[in-house]
Amino acid sequence: MLQLETTEKLARRRIELLDPADYAAKLRFLNDLEPKMARAALGLWKKQQGLITDEVVRRVNAAAKIPARILDAWEEQAQVFVEKSALPATLLSLETAGRRMARKINSTRKDIFGFDLEARLIQQWATAQAGALIVNLTQAQRAACNALIVKHVYQDPLSPYQLGRLLRCIVGLTERETLAVLHFRERLLGSGLSGDQIANQAERYAARLLKLRGERIGRTELANAYGKGIFESVNQARAEGYIEGQVNKKWDAIDDEKRTCSICLDLDGEEVPYDQAFSNGSDHDPAHIMCRCSVNYIILR
Q: What are the residue boundaries of the structural domains of the chain, listed by start? A: 15-244, 245-301
pLDDT in tens, the chain (301 residues): 444 444 445 455 789 999 999 999 999 999 999 999 999 999 999 999 999 999 999 999 999 999 999 999 999 999 999 999 999 999 999 999 999 999 999 988 777 899 999 999 999 999 999 999 999 999 999 999 999 999 999 999 999 999 999 999 999 999 999 999 999 999 999 899 999 999 999 999 999 999 999 999 999 999 999 999 999 999 999 999 999 889 999 999 876 655 677 788 889 999 999 999 999 999 999 999 989 899 999 999 7
| Residue 80 three-state SS | helix
Residue 10: what pLDDT?
46
Kind plus residue range of the DSSP H or E element containing 249: strand 246-252
Supply the pLDDT for residue 256.
62
Tally of residues, the chain? 301
pLDDT value for 254: 74
The pLDDT of residue 140 is 96
pTM of the full structure: 0.91
Q: How many CA atoms lie within 13 A of 247 on its CB side?
A: 21
Could you tell me which residues come within 8 angstroms of residue 24 by beta carbon, excluding any fewer than 6 positions away?
none
Alpha carbon 48 to chain centroid, angstroms: 21
Q: Which sign, positive or negative, has the C-alpha torsion 142, 220, 248, 119?
A: positive
* pLDDT recorded at residue 190: 86
| pLDDT in the model for residue 2 | 42
Alpha carbon distances (Å) from 230 to 57, 158, 259, 287, 297? 47, 51, 24, 15, 9
